[in-house]
A and B are shown apart, each in its own frame.
Chain A
Amino acid sequence: GNSVTQMEGPVTLSEEAFLTINCTYTATGYPSLFWYVQYPGEGLQLLLKATKADDKGSNKGFEATYRKETTSFHLEKGSVQVSDSAVYFCALSGSYNQGGKLIFGQGTELSVKP
């Protein structure tokens, strides 16, 4: 079945640093790809998504490009803020025999210091 692997955290950056959180996947067919963000004690919020190869999802300064040749969907931001401190989850749509559910990575904790 489909699966996703994301880099382990925690990731600690200084304010205004460049952020990359790696996400790679294995999948049959053409899954959709997602990034979610979870702030402490809250539910997950959809950050961005891409539904086909070479699509770029973007939101709030975050970007990720659906790369089929490298099976990747890395999350990037040019200049992080303290308020970006959260846990980030990469996800993809499951295969038919997985009931089409979303498959989530383990999450990467980001801590941004002033």
Chain B
Amino acid sequence: DGGITQSPKYLFRKEGQNVTLSCEQNLNHDAMYWYRQDPGQGLRLIYYSQIVNDFQKGDIAEGYSVSREKKESFPLTVTSAQKNPTAFYLCASSFGTGTYEQYFGPGTRLTVT
């Protein structure tokens, strides 16, 4: 089955620790995205990548970092510099940017205390 996987579903960390969220896709998509969703809110774009070894900041990149070493993988690191890291994180992919629809993973709920 083709799709996007995110792991784990729930993640708990102490304040001051960096944490990395996994996102893998087997759809052969070139573009991948990370979004943050807060309760009752819409989606905010953190980072996106249009091709391997290249990525761009989205609207709220501060306190986050990414890498794109493989086409299938786009991990997101939430650093200790992110002031309010507790949120629902969604990964998505698409054939390209522009008119292509995005396909979403199931999300990771991160809680930092």
Chains A and B come from one and the same complex: yes
**Secondary structure of the A contact surface, majority rule:** loop
* CB-defined contacts of B45 to chain A, threshold 8 Å: 101
Look across to chain B and name the residue whose beta carbon is closest to the beta carbon of A52. Answer: B99
* Interface pair B99/A105, CB less than 8 Å apart: no
* CB-defined contacts of A100 to chain B, threshold 8 Å: 96-99
Q: CB within 8 Å of B: which of A84-114?
A: 89, 93-94, 99-102, 104-107, 109
Given A43-B104, A44-B104: A101 in contact with B99 (beta carbons within 8 A): no
* Interface pair B107/A101, CB less than 8 Å apart: no
Q: CB within 8 Å of A: which of B34-76?
A: 40-43, 45, 48, 50, 56, 58
* A104 to B94 CA separation, bound complex (whole angstroms): 15
* Interface pair A46/B101, CB less than 8 Å apart: yes
B interface, size bucket: 20 to 34
Q: Chain B's nearest CB lies how many Å from the CB of A58?
A: 15
A25 at interface (Cβ–Cβ under 8 A)? no
Option from B4, B40, B43, B50 in Cβ contact (under 8 Å) with A104: B43
Seen from chain B, the residues whose Cβ lies within 8 Å of a Cβ on chain A are: 4, 6, 33, 40-43, 45, 48, 50, 56, 58, 90, 92, 96-107, 109
Ordered by A's residue number, 10 sampled pairs between the chains whose C-beta atoms are within 8 Å are A42-B107, A43-B92, A43-B105, A45-B104, A46-B103, A93-B98, A99-B97, A101-B33, A101-B58, A104-B42
